[in-house]
């Protein structure tokens, strides 16, 4: 069973799967094509990716015009942000943040043209995501994490960044 709800961003969904807890720990089914399809998320995901990062690492804002994603944090805690990066949209720059963790098991469904970014809040975190298309180098867009057009309220002022995320660039 999963609970699916809309967010403040058109097409972006918040998903909370049922978590079974007992004295041994917890069990959660992270994806079932049939169950997600019945809930309105009927994509054939073709690629799964995992990113492991340490505290204060900030990755993103990245995305592309074709890929839907189903994201979660399987270990640790993240400050996760989704941004409307469609420059032709009247909602360009609108964003929403979520806390994703191995405790709440929340997932976020992100449609194409939205950028995603996250900051690691715990000592270490593992971010996982399913994609509806295969990754193609050079087809992604990137914006700086602190792009003033977005005004994201990050809970950090000096994150650990890659060279790509320091620069930010847009690929059309």
Per-residue pLDDT of 51-75, as tens digits, reads: 999 999 999 999 999 999 999 999 9
Instruction: State residue 138's pLDDT score.
Output: 83
Whether residue 172 is contained in a domain is answered as no
> In the predicted model, is pLDDT for residue 78 greater than 70?
yes
Whether residue 113 is contained in a domain is answered as yes
Q: How many domains does the chain contain in total? A: 1
Catalytic residue IDs: 62, 129
Whether residue 162 is contained in a domain is answered as yes
> What's the pTM value of the predicted model, to 2 decimals?
0.94
Phi/psi at 76 (5° precision): 95, -155
Q: What is the CATH number of the domain that holds 112?
A: 2.60.120.10
Compute the half-sphere exposure of residue 95: CA atoms within 13 Å on the CB side of its CA: 24
> In the predicted model, is pLDDT for residue 171 greater than 70?
no
40: containing domain: 2-167
List, for residues 4-54, the tens digit of each pLDDT value.
999 999 999 999 999 999 999 999 999 999 999 999 898 889 999 999 999
**Rounded to whole angstroms, how far apart are CA atoms 67 and 167?**
23
**Rounded to whole angstroms, how far apart are CA atoms 66 and 53?**
26
> In the predicted model, is pLDDT for residue 88 greater than 70?
yes
Contacts of 69 (CB under 8 A, 6+ apart): 109, 110, 116, 129, 130, 131, 132
Tell me the pLDDT band of 170, cut-offs 50, 70 and 90: low
Decide: 74 and 32 in contact? Cβ < 8 Å.
no
Q: What share of the chain is helix, strand, coil (3-state, %, to 5)?
A: 5, 45, 50
List, for residues 90-144, the tens digit of each pLDDT value.
999 999 999 999 999 999 999 999 999 999 999 999 999 999 999 987 889 999 9
Whether residue 70 is contained in a domain is answered as yes
| Mean pLDDT value across residues 143-158 | 96
């Amino acid at each position: 069973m999963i609970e699916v709800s809309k967010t403040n961003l058109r097409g972006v969904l918040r998903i909370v799967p049922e978590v079974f807890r007992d004295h041994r720990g917890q069990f959660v089914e992270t994806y079932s094509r049939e169950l997600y399809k019945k809930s309105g998320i009927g994509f054939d995901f073709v690629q799964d990716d995992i990113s492991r990062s340490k505290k204060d690492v900030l990755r993103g804002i990245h995305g592309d015009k074709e890929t839907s994603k189903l994201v979660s944090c399987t270990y640790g805690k993240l400050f996760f942000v989704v941004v409307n990066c469609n420059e032709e949209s009247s909602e360009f720059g609108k964003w929403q943040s979520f806390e994703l963790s191995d405790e709440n098991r929340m997932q976020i469904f992100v449609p194409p043209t939205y950028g995603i970014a996250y900051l690691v809040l715990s000592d270490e975190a593992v971010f996982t995501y399913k994609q509806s298309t295969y990754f193609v180098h050079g087809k992604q867009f990137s914006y700086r994490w602190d792009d003033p057009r977005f005004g994201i309220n990050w809970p950090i002022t000096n994150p650990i960044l890659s060279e790509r995320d320091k620069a930010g660039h847009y690929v059309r």
